[in-house]
């Protein structure tokens, strides 16, 4: 059986692309390197294309998937509790230096840029700002770069709009049209002009570590999904994909055993420090180990009017993996 | 033209393996993932297989061993290309036994020191750096090698050097005090299992590495790309095209880290931002000119360590077609 799998190009997915992780018996797995907002070797807009059924298996945004499952319990895609992308929100917030923002509380009422309202990092940051700092997302104004992957309706009492097609959100931040930007990376326009913006936190790592101590997890951004009819027809397959993700991740950790694996001259030192701060492996798989994280996030999605009611984390995953 | 290239599996070589960097026009390049002391997908012993077996058309080679081979045979069937896919600062790669009484580099004088081989590039660099920067003479230490030398060496009778017995693990030897220090690009597996039984020489290795960079001005070369001389002579555009391909792969690999979540290292992007402040935009520079001081200093170390009979110009390592780089 020949199956396709759409993945980002992370270090931990390299084994899928160079055949150093064993596929399930009888399966030939064809990996595609597909970005989301940035196109990679095999294109972009991975999440939308996964919903359209273009591939058998793939890496999906947690927030759009939570919305989709809520709207259609028989969604043709079903989740696997492997989580290839994670972010702490405190370190991913950039601000205009003249916006009068010194601490998270100062974001209240501000104009904030995001990729989409439903982008997982946006949902996490809004939820974290409310839970940890009392900043009501309803009091801020939201400016998004991209159309929503799944339709949303957040009502008329919140200021939320897409920026013009000709606008660059990085320039908007640097020119003061918005006050802050929540993004997994500075935009190219910002990288070209590093004095035009700064991070919310002068020591983002300490803030991220404090978050980990308080909440106990490294927050999930993406999960693996598979076509439901495929998982139903081959009930071993979801667990096998989870195994592959784990083995690939173990192999990728071993890359850093060599102190010179990375262009980062001190990658091994960084891994040693990370293990002191976050434990041996903050990238855990399985439903049980991630339930708290998932249910906190489903709560955020509900509070942000993306789903009508909270639901159990198990609803996201194929029945064959509810014991993981 | 079908060519083979033998590479380590670094982040910067990923584009060679997944087809995201274009090969030279008319060339199909088959990449092999080959380790040196650790086996990877396509095996191990990359350096002897490139140098002695001439198994690959192009490959990533030990800088030190290549300098020795060129020193002995000016018509070596391999010729260098000035791109350098592996680099190390030596201060951060030295581990010590906590009870050996070693608190500063100068304390290594006269000590028993483990290395992969005497000629391993990191060993040569560390010996040279210890002498130049700290006055520790390698001739006064005793050297304990994990394995034999790829190119034969003759140190004379006044230096203690030998290969550890079969069945011995150099990490265990360090932890049990049979040696005092170990120069290695990574702690051995035996050491990773018992992290309290060894430590780095420097309490703040990153700060020491930065000090080295400020003093010497480079991130020291470990490996060099080489290709078959007859191939380079017959296709004089090819060495530069491989150099260019290497540069494009490296540039692409830097962009991996634009995504703050590229790596299992949760703060990889922060680390890259810090690195750029202390080492500049790209300490992995290619080309002869930008690396001449580093290459020439290392050739001096090789000579001082009796690995070559006489120092020679850096140009001798490279194909004529890339001498203006």
Residue A310 contacts B, CB cutoff 8 Å: no
**B135, pLDDT greater than 90:** yes
Give me the helices (H) in chain B, please. Answer: 14-17, 46-51, 63-72, 121-134, 170-175, 189-192, 205-216, 229-234, 238-256, 268-279, 288-304
Which residue in the set A18, A221, A267 is minimally distant from B41, CB to CB? A18
Topology classification of domain A2-86+219-321: D-Maltodextrin-Binding Protein; domain 2 (3.40.190)
- Which of A266, A272, A278, A283 should we substitute to test contact with B (largest number of B Cβ atoms within 10 Å)? A266
Residue B315 contacts A, CB cutoff 8 Å: no
pTM listed for this prediction = 0.95
Segment B190-212 shows an average pLDDT of 95
CB contact under 8 A, B10 and A261: yes
- For residue range A232-257, list pLDDT tens digits in order: 999 999 999 999 999 999 999 999 99
Going by C-alpha positions, the residue among A118, A127, A116 that lies closest to residue A64 is A118
Which residue in the set B12, B20, B186 is minimally distant from A263, CB to CB? B12
Which residue in the set A12, A205, A268 is minimally distant from B264, CB to CB? A12
Residue A46 contacts B, CB cutoff 8 Å: no
CA distance A154 to B186: 53
pLDDT at B27 (0 to 100):
98
Spell out the domains of chain B, with CATH numbers in brackets.
2-87+220-322 (3.40.190.10), 91-216 (3.40.190.10)
Segment A306-323 shows an average pLDDT of 97
CB contact under 8 A, B209 and A257: no
- For residue range B159-199, list pLDDT tens digits in order: 999 999 999 999 999 999 999 999 998 889 999 889 899 99
pLDDT at B108 (0 to 100):
98
- For residue range A117-143, list pLDDT tens digits in order: 999 999 999 999 999 999 999 999 999
CB contact under 8 A, A268 and B18: no
- List all residues of chain B from 112 to 151 with a beta carbon under 8 Å from chain A: none
pLDDT at A73 (0 to 100):
83
For chain A, the domains span 2-86+219-321, 90-215
Which residue in the set B9, B222, B258 is minimally distant from A185, CB to CB? B258
- For residue range A53-110, list pLDDT tens digits in order: 999 999 999 999 999 999 998 899 999 999 999 999 999 999 999 999 999 999 999 9
Residue A210 contacts B, CB cutoff 8 Å: no
CB contact under 8 A, B264 and A261: no
- Which of B266, B275, B276 should we substitute to test contact with A (largest number of A Cβ atoms within 10 Å)? B266
Which residue in the set A9, A11, A268 is minimally distant from B264, CB to CB? A11
CB pairs under 8 A between A and B: 139
- List all residues of chain A from 259 to 278 with a beta carbon under 8 Å from chain B: 259-271, 274, 278
CB contact under 8 A, B263 and A14: no
For chain B, what percent of residues have pLDDT higher than 90?
97
- For residue range A153-182, list pLDDT tens digits in order: 999 999 999 999 899 999 999 999 999 999
pLDDT at B121 (0 to 100):
98
pLDDT at B86 (0 to 100):
98
pLDDT at B37 (0 to 100):
85
pLDDT at A223 (0 to 100):
98
Same fold across A2-86+219-321 and A90-215:
yes
- Which of B93, B271, B275, B279 should we substitute to test contact with A (largest number of A Cβ atoms within 10 Å)? B271
Which residue in the set A18, A185, A221 is minimally distant from B33, CB to CB? A18
Confidence of residue A145 (pLDDT cuts 50, 70, 90): very high
How many CB atoms lie under 10 A from the CB of residue B17?
19
Which residue in the set B258, B261, B271 is minimally distant from A86, CB to CB? B261
A227 has which bridge partners? A77
How many CB atoms lie under 10 A from the CB of residue A261?
24
Residues of chain B in contact with residue A255, where contact means CB-CB under 8 angstroms, are 9, 11
pLDDT at B73 (0 to 100):
95
CA distance A197 to A101: 12
Q: B65 with B38: CB under 8 angstroms?
A: no
**B261, pLDDT greater than 90:** yes
**B18, pLDDT greater than 90:** yes
pLDDT at A37 (0 to 100):
86
Closest chain A residue to B203 measured between Cα atoms? A269
Residues of chain B in contact with residue A125, where contact means CB-CB under 8 angstroms, are none
- For residue range A176-198, list pLDDT tens digits in order: 999 999 998 899 999 899 899 99
Residues of chain B in contact with residue A121, where contact means CB-CB under 8 angstroms, are none
- List all residues of chain A from 181 to 200 with a beta carbon under 8 Å from chain B: 184-185, 191
Residue A113 contacts B, CB cutoff 8 Å: no
Which residue in the set A9, A184, A283 is minimally distant from B260, CB to CB? A184
Segment B54-76 shows an average pLDDT of 97
Closest chain B residue to A42 measured between Cα atoms? B20
How many CA atoms lie less than 13 Å away from A241 in the CB half-sphere? 35
pLDDT at A185 (0 to 100):
87
pLDDT at B257 (0 to 100):
95
Residue A91 contacts B, CB cutoff 8 Å: yes
For B227, the token pair is 């290709």
How many CB atoms lie under 10 A from the CB of residue B139?
15
Least-confidence region, from A127-136, A146-155, A281-290, A311-320: A146-155
Segment B98-125 shows an average pLDDT of 97
- Which of B222, B263, B284 should we substitute to test contact with A (largest number of A Cβ atoms within 10 Å)? B263
Distance from CA of B17 to the nearest CA of A (A): 7
Residues of chain A in contact with residue B272, where contact means CB-CB under 8 angstroms, are 263-264
Tell me the CATH number of domain A90-215, given options 3.40.50.720, 3.40.190.10, 3.40.50.10420, 1.10.10.60: 3.40.190.10
Residues of chain A in contact with residue B183, where contact means CB-CB under 8 angstroms, are none
Residues of chain A in contact with residue B21, where contact means CB-CB under 8 angstroms, are none
């Amino acid at each position: 059986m020949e199956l396709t799998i759409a993945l980002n190009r992370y270090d931990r997915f390299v084994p899928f692309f160079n055949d150093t992780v064993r596929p399930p018996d009888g399966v030939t797995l064809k990996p595609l390197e597909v970005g989301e907002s940035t196109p990679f070797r095999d294109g972009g807009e991975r999440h939308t294309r996964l919903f359209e059924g273009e591939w058998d298996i793939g890496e999906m945004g947690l927030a759009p998937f939570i919305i989709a499952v809520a709207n259609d319990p028989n969604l043709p895609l079903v989740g696997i509790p492997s989580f290839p992308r994670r972010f702490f929100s405190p370190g991913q917030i950039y601000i205009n230096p003249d916006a009068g923002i010194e601490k998270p509380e100062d974001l209240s009422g501000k104009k904030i840029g995001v990729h989409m309202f439903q982008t997982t990092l946006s949902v996490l940051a809004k939820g974290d700002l409310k839970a940890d700092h009392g900043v009501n997302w309803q009091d801020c104004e939201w400016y998004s770069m991209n159309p929503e992957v799944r339709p949303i309706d957040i009502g008329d009492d919140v200021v939320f709009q897409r920026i013009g097609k000709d606008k660059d959100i990085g320039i908007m931040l640097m020119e003061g049209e918005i006050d802050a930007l929540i993004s997994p990376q500075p935009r190219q326009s910002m990288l070209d002009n590093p004095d035009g913006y700064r991070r919310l936190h002068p020591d983002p790592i300490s803030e991220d570590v404090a978050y980990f101590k308080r909440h106990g997890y490294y927050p999930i951004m993406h999960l693996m999904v598979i076509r439901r009819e495929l998982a139903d027809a081959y009930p071993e397959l979801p667990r096998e994909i989870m195994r592959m993700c784990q083995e690939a991740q173990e192999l990728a950790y071993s890359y850093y055993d060599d102190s010179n694996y990375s262009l980062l001259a001190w990658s091994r030192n960084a891994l040693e420090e990370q293990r002191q701060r976050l434990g041996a492996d903050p990238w855990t798989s399985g439903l049980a180990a991630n339930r708290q994280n998932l249910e906190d996030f489903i709560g955020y999605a509900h509070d942000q009017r993306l789903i009508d009611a909270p639901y159990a984390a198990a609803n996201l995953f194929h029945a064959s993996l509810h014991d993981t | 033209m079908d060519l083979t290239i033998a590479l380590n599996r670094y982040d910067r070589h990923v584009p060679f393996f997944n087809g995201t960097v274009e090969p030279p026009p008319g060339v199909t390049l088959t990449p092999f993932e080959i380790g040196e002391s650790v086996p990877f997908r396509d095996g191990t012993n990359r350096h002897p297989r490139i140098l002695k077996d001439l198994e690959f058309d192009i490959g990533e080679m030990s800088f030190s061993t290549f300098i020795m081979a060129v020193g002995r045979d000016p018509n070596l069937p391999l010729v260098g290309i000035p791109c350098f896919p592996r680099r190390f600062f030596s201060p951060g790669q030295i581990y010590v036994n906590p009870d050996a009484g070693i608190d500063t580099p100068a304390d290594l004088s006269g000590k028993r020191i483990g290395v992969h081989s005497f000629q391993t590039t990191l060993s040569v660099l560390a010996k040279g750096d210890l002498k130049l920067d700290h006055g520790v003479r390698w001739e006064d230490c005793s050297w304990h090698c994990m394995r034999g030398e790829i190119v034969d060496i003759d140190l004379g009778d006044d230096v203690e050097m030998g290969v550890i017995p079969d069945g011995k693990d150099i990490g265990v030897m360090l932890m049990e005090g049979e040696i005092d220090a170990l120069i290695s690009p990574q702690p051995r597996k035996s050491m990773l299992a018992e992290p309290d039984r060894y430590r780095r020489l420097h309490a703040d290795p990153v700060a020491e590495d930065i000090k080295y960079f400020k003093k010497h001005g480079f991130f020291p070369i470990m490996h060099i790309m080489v290709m078959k001389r007859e191939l380079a002579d017959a296709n004089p555009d090819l060495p530069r095209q491989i150099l260019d391909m290497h540069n494009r792969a490296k540039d692409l690999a830097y962009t991996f880290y634009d995504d703050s979540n590229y790596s299992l290292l949760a703060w990889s992007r922060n680390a890259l931002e810090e690195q750029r402040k202390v080492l500049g935009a790209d300490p992995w520079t290619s080309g002869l000119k930008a690396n001449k001081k580093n290459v020439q200093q290392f050739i001096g170390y090789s000579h001082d360590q009796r690995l070559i009979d006489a120092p020679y110009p850096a140009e001798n390592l490279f194909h004529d077609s890339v001498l203006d780089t």
